Structure 1
Amino acid sequence: MGTLLSDLRFSFRQLVKNPGLSLTAIVSLAFGIGATTAVFSVVWAILMNPYPYANNDRMYHMRLWDIHGRQTGFGLTAPQWQELKKSPVIEDAFLVGGWNLTVTGSDVPEDLNGVYMSSNSMNFLGVPALLGRGLIPADAVDGQDPQPIVVLGNKFWHRHYNGDPSVIGKNIQLVRKNYTIVGVMPPRFTWEDGDVYTPEKITQDPVKAYYVGIRLKPGVTRAQANAALEPLIVEFQKQSPSHFGADKFRFTVVGLNDDFLKDLGGTLALLICAVGLLLAIGCGNVSILLLARGTARQHEFAVRSAIGASRQRIVRQLLTESLMLALTGAALGVLLSWKTIQVITDLLPKYSFPHEAEIRLNVPVLVFSVLISIFAGVLFGMWPALQFSRPNVSEVMQSSTRKIVGNVRGRGVYNALIGGQIALTMLLLAGAGAAMEGFLKMMHAPLGYDPHNVMSVGIPVHDGTYKTWESRVAYFEQLQKKIAEVPGVKMTSIAHNATPPANGFEMKAEVLGESTQSERKIRINLVDPQYFPILRVPLAQGRIWNESENHNAAHLAVINETMAKQFFPNGDAIGHSIKMAELKPEPPYFVGTQGSDDWMQVVGIVADKKNDGLSKPVKPEAFIPNTIAMGMFTQILVRSDASPLTLLHAIKLKVSSVDPDQQVNGQVDDLEHWISSQQEWQNEHLIAWLFGAFAVLALLLASVGLYSVVSYSVAQRTNEFGIRVALGAQRGHVLKIVFSSAIGAVAGGMGAGLVLALASSKLLAHWSEHSVRDPLILVGVTVVLGVVALLSCVVPARKALGIDPMTALRYE
């Protein structure tokens, strides 16, 4: 024990004696461990263990693939759900619907996300309630009104009841109906992000459609499920064609996490590569410093050996020093990883990962990262000990006592480590440059509309209200009129489904006079005539329908320039007629005028605007009066002179004045934030931000490591430089000696980095708009890395020039 304490004290003195080297090594490991642990913990939570549901490996969504290879969902009626459960490949199935509900208690109703579930749903999902109970089959018998009970989501319980455990048995009023609270779900139960869960009334209604989730029987493969269920789904399509997004399709089951893997898997893979490079750079930094320090201590090892120290004793001492460095860096890395996990989680696209995932510090990942770092520290700390613990004492004592570079093999290892570090840093910089360029291009791409000072106010319609076309038109128009009265509101527009940059219902369109075989897909937008001026979308040709025509649901259409070019290449779109046969009303959920699926005359052409996301080409789209067909939800666009969100409370009061039971959607954003909420924007933002941060860290680590090594080299050769200066060596000669110790390794590393960047360009281009083959990116990162490397060597070089020969000759 006494020997161990002695080793620890001596190790601590050694670290304090060389604070620059020690801090650089510790910080390098801390950054590498912290970033790696954080990213791998996020990946583990999202990809490996995202769901708390029982047997979630056998839970599947059902999807369709149309003839164009696009994946779509579909809905089933309650009778179809009951028929589906009888399939021999299905163990169980549940259905889910949803409505916006309100809870009163303030000056305006609070919007709630109500999730209506079949009474077997919570047994299916297998997550026990945190308090009370979940839904049970006795809560809803088929064909009968369900019990007036409700289960609270965890976030709503904390938000509305401050986490009060005594809520069980209390009443809550939702849309003026009393419900008894029977349970509270745990934090990880977030199905459909529900605020409240209540049983759905199961009827033989042939119109109302639901999401249906299935669990396959043990041993049933996806291929077997697809083959067994596709004929049944085809039959369901014949029964209710409007619930299916395609006439011809291929059916498939999709795992719970497959969509998230598709949306975020590539981004996470890229981040894994980035932090892997950062960890390698950090370990490389430590390796270079420990090798340099160990080589410089040849004289110390020789003296120890000469006075009787055994090889085992010297090795044990260096092992203690290396472990102290590695463990200190690992401890700081753990602290850093906690904060980094939160930063990454905040940057993740909101709907790109399962909200059930518990993203927290993952102990196995942490242990792995720490062990890798300790291994690197110990390996390169022990190497000099093993190499020099049996020195030729007379040879070392006669040679220079302060010499960092030993033999040719030592120089080769030293240069290889510096070169590798520079190469990996350059690869990270090139990837970050490509990601940032792609993100900046997306940010500055022309939108075709003006989102500034415009917000989209979503207003849901409660189940069983405004069932007729006349009542719904009157309600929407009254809402618009009241909102327009709010001081500060400059203009309003009803746009049921037309908030860009991703908008419209995709439907098949026919052109009058053409064969039905020429049907093509277009985007249909239900808007009023104020939609175009409020978004400042210019009219290119023809006219927009007026307010009177909008009120009367005139069969008129305005199309965009892309549709005009594709459908009417002769430039004669005005006066032609188009028809969307799928635009059929299904009261009471989707109401419309007589002949809403009939021919509509094209009266105008507007300029293109983004309608399929920020990076995809504009799709053909048509705009028709919003009164032709209306669903259970509308959006009112509001333009103001100042930030429109400051008017939101006043708008909510106006909505409540029209109908106290109705409310504004809980999530309201202005259109500039609407853009930043897009999946592609958030993915690009995440990659650019984190890749850039990791690249900056790598550059910092490489520069500090290079600076420390060159400074250490100058310090060890103080007497040599003093003698050279005393003998008349010129400044340029001294500078050449200093720079030559690193310039070869730096140049080689930059060359290897360019090769790596070019070789990995296809991989990086998969997640970035621009390839790293872009000459501007390659030149830019080469210049940046070259300048940083030069500056890292300049300061030690100036120190070498300032050495006083008399001081150097006395230097011990």
Structure 2
Amino acid sequence: MHILHDFKFAKRQIAKRPGFAAAVILTLALGIGANSAIFSMINGLMLKPLPYPEGEQLVAVYNTYPKMGLPNAGVSVPDYIDRRDRTEVFQSTAMYTWNGMNLTGEGNPERLLALRTTPSLFEVLRIKPMLGRTLGEEHAEIGNDRAVVLSHGLWQAAFGAREGIVGEDIRLNGEPYEVVGVMPAGFVFPNQNVQLWMPFAFTPQQMSDEERGREFSNMIARLKPGASTEQAQQQVDRIHEINRERAPAGVAEFWANSGFGGRVVNYREELIGELRGPLWLLQVAVAFVLLIACANVANLMLARVTARRRELSVRKAMGAASRRIVAQILCESGLLALLGGFAGLLVAWYGLELLTLAGLGSTNELFDIRLDGTVFAFALGIAMTTGVLFGVVPALAAVRGNTAEVLKEGGRSASSGRGAQLTRSTLVVAQVAIAAMLLVGSGLLIRSFMELQGTDAGFNPEGVLTAGLSLPDNPYDDPAAMRDFHDRLVARLEAIPGVVAAGMTNVAPFEGGNSQSSYSIEGYEPGPGENSPHGMVRRADSGYFEAMEIPVLSGRAFTPEDGPDNPVAVIDEILARRYFPDENPIGRRIGFDDEENPEWFTVVGVVGTVKHSGLDEQVSKETYYLPIRNAAVGSPTLVLRTAMPPAGLIDPLREAVREIDPQLPLTRIRTMEEMIDVSLQTRRAPMLLLMVFAGVALALSAIGIYGVLAYSVSQRTGELGVRMALGARIGDILQLVMRQGGRLVAIGLALGLVAALALTGMISSQLYGVSRFDPFVLIGVVVFLGLIAALACLIPAWRAACVNPIEALRYE
């Protein structure tokens, strides 16, 4: 009965002061909503089960070369077979590699992303098809691998959701493939872009030891119940130890010098990647924002309790127990917090949309990121927690003090004691300190982002348009046919009005390619404990360097005369400095010193170093370029430089490719600036969001400072009137109030900067070119926060200075 009565009483009290209630609810909504939005991201990415039965048993397995700066490499077929057959912790394993397929015969040719996989993949994932069946072991045999499983989306879009498609043939790259099944809606592996799953049938050559080192595939496995990632890692390590013992001396030496081994990682951890750090950083930031909100609300509640001191004293004098008064005030704060929580869910809904637009969160549809029951429970939990946090101090203040003294005042004043004033001041200091911490963090990220944007990528991205092609094996697997196609297409592209230069490469910077290979330098012998040189390898033509404006530092780029009878290479300046520090590398030869089939390329030019994966990349690995005209590249990238807006070239580009071969679809049409912009998302999103949260914290802190000083001035009206009546000037009153607020701000700033310096280690991995002790940021925060705080202090100070002494004395 007491609880129901307290609840009704709390409703009446809130209804009496709708302005007060609105201020509290909106303040809490901001804090609770921001926390709930970030938590929904964390919940979807890190806490919810993956959409596969017992998904936490899934692990990714890589080859690794840590001494060569290559922590994650692909897996060769022999390595996969070793791990499949010689480990006891894996319940099932699968190997897969990416393939691009052109779907023809269903209207215009369509480029599809396919996954060539061992049939065991569906056993590993434990997902059954919606129609038909999945790939069977019989499809893993060469000659019997013309089968395909369709995604639900492709089945609907390209085949009209016909159930009879199972058993029919479709044409992929001009060849017939039998549709054996259709996966259910919502099935994703490894991401939503994959629309086909095809058999990966191993040839005898691929399964031989000679194939070790051809690491173009990925491996996924399911652990047995009770097995751990650490146990799997130990067994994989043991396999590599045994293999090293029986390997030829040269191979064993290479493995030892490179640190070659296997790496087993939880599959979820691999999917989340670099998002974990920014998400936890933002969760900490919004928790601080919520603390500031609680401090503000606590100050509001203290002021309200102070205004009700006479009422509460009367109730105590009439026999009300202190615990009943505390319970009623806590009930009021709890009801306000609950209303703030519901409003916060609305803020979280919009906030989640903004987080997605900002680029935070995974684009992989494997993850279910939304406001669900768990997020609702989280919002309710923090609402109730905040209700206690900001309610307990006012509740305790309500039952302190001398009842008789309050009643003697006769209602002339509702002044509070020193304890309440100290509490308010402490809350303001905490608000300023937290705001300073968030401002330092956001300032460092802003400075870092500015430094990053000004970084030279090694090429000029402005005015560059890129597009992908998918070339079927027939006829483009023949180098002569590839040369003819290349020359005709590039000539046609260069003829497009507005095109300044056009070229082709196997993979453009920021496109996600990680093609690397060991090579030899004629006349160079690695020292003891060293392997042959290892670097990034790219295929390109002369138009590529011109279109990207990659500077040629010495020698020349490729020319049409560089045919298979005249094999040449272009190297970057890192390779030139590393292996030819005191000589001209032009004319030297690099290549592949295979005893059976050696292949050497004469260096004809040195070009500038290019960042391939991101502006924050610390390039330490060299790059060498080989002519693309002389190789069968299945998925080349076209690169065009234009003097007009790149978007205006898309239609002419499509028409040019259609004229050369109408069966070739264009894919991945993007400007280079767009690709760089996407690469910056994981840095931009935390920066923008932390900046927003710091702004909210700053605003709430300024409101808190203003509120405390305004309340203090209202309580000291009589004192100020006496001072002015005795001759105090306006400047004296301004100084008096400003000194009070300035003291609180100074203490808060000092504590905030000390805490910021201690906690900025959390964002050190997000910084580029900026120290976390950057003096420009620290001084800027002090000045900026000091100015805002001074403004918040000035308004109540001016009001105090404008007090009419006569009116003030009457008030007293």
Smaller-chain TM-score bracket: 0.7 to 0.9
2:664 counterpart SS class: coil
Assess if the C-alpha contact under 8 Å between 1:556 and 1:601 holds in 2: yes
- Counterpart residue number, 2:221: 214
- State the TM-score, normalized to the length of structure 1: 0.87
Cα deviation, 1:219-262, whole Å, max 9, x if unaligned, reads 44224432454368769998xx9xx9997512232221233455
2:641 counterpart SS class: strand
Q: How does 1:159-170 map to 2 (within 5 A)?
A: none
For 2:707 and 2:164, the matched residues in 1 are separated by: 62
Assess if the C-alpha contact under 8 Å between 2:86 and 2:239 holds in 1: no
- Counterpart residue number, 2:501: 491
In structure 2, stretches of 5+ residues that fail to align are 207-213
Deviation at 1:718, TM superposition (A): 4.1
Q: Aligned pair in 2 of structure 1 residues 356, 261: CA closer, same or farther (>3 Å)?
A: closer
- Counterpart residue number, 1:393: 403
User: In structure 1, what residue type is equivalent to 2:730?
Assistant: R
Q: Aligned match of 2:298 in 272, 283, 287?
A: 287
Assess if the C-alpha contact under 8 Å between 2:159 and 2:165 holds in 1: no
Cα deviation, 1:358-403, whole Å, max 9, x if unaligned, reads 1112534543444334333334434333433365333113449576
Cα deviation, 1:608-642, whole Å, max 9, x if unaligned, reads 34345312333432233223433322111111222
- Counterpart residue number, 2:615: 614
Deviation at 1:454, TM superposition (A): 0.8
Q: Aligned pair in 2 of structure 1 residues 810, 462: CA closer, same or farther (>3 Å)?
A: farther
For 1:554 and 1:533, the matched residues in 2 are separated by: 22
- Counterpart residue number, 2:120: 120
Would you say 1:521 and 2:521 are equivalent positions?
Answer: no
For 1:102 and 1:415, the matched residues in 2 are separated by: 69
Q: How does 1:397-412 map to 2 (within 5 A)?
A: 397-399=407-409, 401=411, 406-412=416-422
- Counterpart residue number, 2:672: 671
Assess if the C-alpha contact under 8 Å between 2:520 and 2:591 holds in 1: yes
Q: Aligned pair in 2 of structure 1 residues 100, 161: CA closer, same or farther (>3 Å)?
A: same
Would you say 1:344 and 2:351 are equivalent positions?
Answer: no
Deviation at 1:424, TM superposition (A): 1.0
User: In structure 2, what residue type is equivalent to 1:329?
Assistant: G
Assess if the C-alpha contact under 8 Å between 1:757 and 1:772 holds in 2: no
- Counterpart residue number, 1:376: 386
For 2:520 and 2:179, the matched residues in 1 are separated by: 51
- Counterpart residue number, 1:423: 433
Q: How does 1:54-133 map to 2 (within 5 A)?
A: 54-66=53-65, 67-68=67-68, 70-77=70-77, 81=81, 84-85=84-85, 87-103=87-103, 108-129=108-129, 131-132=130-131
Q: Aligned match of 2:451 in 434, 441, 465?
A: 441
Q: Aligned match of 2:369 in 317, 342, 359?
A: 359
User: In structure 1, what residue type is equivalent to 2:449?
Assistant: F
1:60 counterpart SS class: strand
Q: How does 1:182-261 map to 2 (within 5 A)?
A: 182-187=181-186, 189-200=188-199, 202-204=201-203, 206-207=205-206, 210-220=217-227, 221-230=231-240, 249-260=260-271
Using the aligned pairs only, state the percent identity: 27
Q: Aligned pair in 2 of structure 1 residues 620, 193: CA closer, same or farther (>3 Å)?
A: same
For 2:643 and 2:727, the matched residues in 1 are separated by: 75
For 1:178 and 1:598, the matched residues in 2 are separated by: 37
| Aligned residue pairs, count | 788
Cα deviation, 1:741-763, whole Å, max 9, x if unaligned, reads 43322211111011111222433
Would you say 1:555 and 2:567 are equivalent positions?
Answer: yes
- Counterpart residue number, 1:270: 281
For 1:55 and 1:402, the matched residues in 2 are separated by: 69
Q: Aligned pair in 2 of structure 1 residues 460, 248: CA closer, same or farther (>3 Å)?
A: farther
Cα deviation, 1:246-289, whole Å, max 9, x if unaligned, reads 97512232221233455222222222221222222222222222
Deviation at 1:446, TM superposition (A): 1.9
Q: How does 1:567-716 map to 2 (within 5 A)?
A: 567-581=579-593, 598-611=599-612, 613-618=614-619, 619-665=621-667, 667-678=668-679, 681-716=680-715
Assess if the C-alpha contact under 8 Å between 2:114 and 2:194 holds in 1: yes
Deviation at 1:777, TM superposition (A): 0.5
Q: Quick check: 164-173 or 91-100, which moved more?
A: 164-173
- Counterpart residue number, 1:455: 465
Assess if the C-alpha contact under 8 Å between 2:135 and 2:180 holds in 1: no
Q: Aligned pair in 2 of structure 1 residues 564, 623: CA closer, same or farther (>3 Å)?
A: same
2:456 counterpart SS class: coil
For 1:393 and 1:55, the matched residues in 2 are separated by: 63
Deviation at 1:357, TM superposition (A): 1.1
Q: Aligned pair in 2 of structure 1 residues 319, 471: CA closer, same or farther (>3 Å)?
A: same
Cα deviation, 1:302-339, whole Å, max 9, x if unaligned, reads 24445665545543442343123212211111111122
User: In structure 1, what residue type is equivalent to 2:618?
Assistant: P
Q: Aligned pair in 2 of structure 1 residues 170, 786: CA closer, same or farther (>3 Å)?
A: farther
2:458 counterpart SS class: coil
- Counterpart residue number, 2:44: 45
Deviation at 1:693, TM superposition (A): 1.4
For 1:147 and 1:611, the matched residues in 2 are separated by: 36
Q: Aligned pair in 2 of structure 1 residues 404, 434: CA closer, same or farther (>3 Å)?
A: farther
- Counterpart residue number, 1:546: 559
For 2:413 and 2:334, the matched residues in 1 are separated by: 25
- Counterpart residue number, 2:799: 799
- Counterpart residue number, 1:531: 544
Q: Aligned pair in 2 of structure 1 residues 530, 469: CA closer, same or farther (>3 Å)?
A: same
Q: Quick check: 261-270 or 200-209, which moved more?
A: 200-209
For 2:285 and 2:352, the matched residues in 1 are separated by: 15
1:193 counterpart SS class: coil
Assess if the C-alpha contact under 8 Å between 2:429 and 2:747 holds in 1: yes
- Counterpart residue number, 1:772: 772
Deviation at 1:428, TM superposition (A): 0.7
Assess if the C-alpha contact under 8 Å between 1:483 and 1:651 holds in 2: yes
Assess if the C-alpha contact under 8 Å between 1:496 and 1:630 holds in 2: no
Cα deviation, 1:128-156, whole Å, max 9, x if unaligned, reads 44x435515278363452475532144x4
Q: Quick check: 570-579 or 37-46, which moved more?
A: 570-579
1:461 counterpart SS class: coil
Cα deviation, 1:545-587, whole Å, max 9, x if unaligned, reads 42222x44632223223322222221422232222448x9xxx
- Counterpart residue number, 1:332: 343
For 1:682 and 1:659, the matched residues in 2 are separated by: 36
For 2:204 and 2:68, the matched residues in 1 are separated by: 32
Cα deviation, 1:728-784, whole Å, max 9, x if unaligned, reads 442233324433443322211111011111222433323222233111100001111
Q: CA RMSD in A?
A: 3.6
Q: Quick check: 200-209 or 432-441, which moved more?
A: 200-209
1:253 counterpart SS class: strand
Q: Aligned pair in 2 of structure 1 residues 752, 558: CA closer, same or farther (>3 Å)?
A: same
For 1:396 and 1:161, the matched residues in 2 are separated by: 83
For 1:490 and 1:707, the matched residues in 2 are separated by: 60
Cα deviation, 1:100-134, whole Å, max 9, x if unaligned, reads 223458985222112233333223211344x4355
For 1:574 and 1:297, the matched residues in 2 are separated by: 88
Cα deviation, 1:33-52, whole Å, max 9, x if unaligned, reads 11111212211221233521
Q: Aligned pair in 2 of structure 1 residues 632, 213: CA closer, same or farther (>3 Å)?
A: same
For 1:809 and 1:79, the matched residues in 2 are separated by: 91
Q: Quick check: 365-374 or 795-804, which moved more?
A: 365-374
- Counterpart residue number, 1:587: none
Q: Aligned pair in 2 of structure 1 residues 716, 295: CA closer, same or farther (>3 Å)?
A: same
User: In structure 1, what residue type is equivalent to 2:280?
Assistant: A
- State the TM-score, normalized to the length of structure 2: 0.87
User: In structure 2, what residue type is equivalent to 1:542?
Assistant: G
